[in-house]
Amino acid sequence: ICFSLSGCPLNAQAIKKGKISEELMTIKLKASGGIESDEEIRHLDEEIKELNESNLKIEADMMKLQTQITSMESNLKTIEEENKLIEQNNESLLKELAGLSQALISSLADIQLPQMGPISEQNFEAYVNTLTDMYSNLERDYSPECKALLESIKQAVKGIHV
């Protein structure tokens, strides 16, 4: 009979079998855990691959957007430059129009249209509209005074250089 379990050969054998069983169980658990880990690793690898593909697509889309933005910015800059040139041209034309208006006003200062006062900056538009109407309706039978007036206006306007 053994007094000490550790010194007993039967007990030592049982302890060894217990340790081996534990180790086998641990290995089996690790092995089964490893299989799960391999599956998890494969699953993670697939997710990583999908994420990489998604990132590449997003980067390609971003590059396209950046190209479009750059193109739009370039077009906007071109349009702004064209608008600036148009504004400068408009300013120049407005100055020229103001000069022509002054020349017309001084040329026609002594000629008074029927039912209108002498031409001035205040009635300039109405005066020009009346003249335009008279010239576009030359077939109308005007009185001799109106015909003489239109002839005087023709002579006065001839002096304006456009």
Q: Percentage of residues in the chain with pLDDT exceeding 90?
A: 30
pTM for this model (two decimals): 0.48
Q: Residue 4: pLDDT band by 50, 70, 90 thresholds?
A: very low
Contact 153/131 with Cβ under 8 angstroms? yes
**Containing structural domain, residue 89:** 33-156
Can you tell me the mean pLDDT for 76-91? 96
For 24, 115, 143, 152, the CA distances from 139, given in Å and listed in that order, are 122, 20, 12, 18
Examine the pLDDT at 84 and tell me if it is beyond 70.
yes
Residue 139 lies in a domain: yes
Total domains in the chain come to: 1
Residue 17 lies in a domain: no
Tokens of 130: 């009346």
Residue 9 lies in a domain: no
Residue 115 lies in a domain: yes
Residue 19 lies in a domain: no
Residue 126 lies in a domain: yes
Can you tell me the mean pLDDT for 19-23? 57
In sequence order, the 6+-apart residues with CB closer than 8 A to the CB of 159 are 107
Backbone angles phi, psi at 161, to 5 degrees: -100, 125
Residue 4 lies in a domain: no
Residue 28 lies in a domain: no
Examine the pLDDT at 136 and tell me if it is beyond 70.
yes
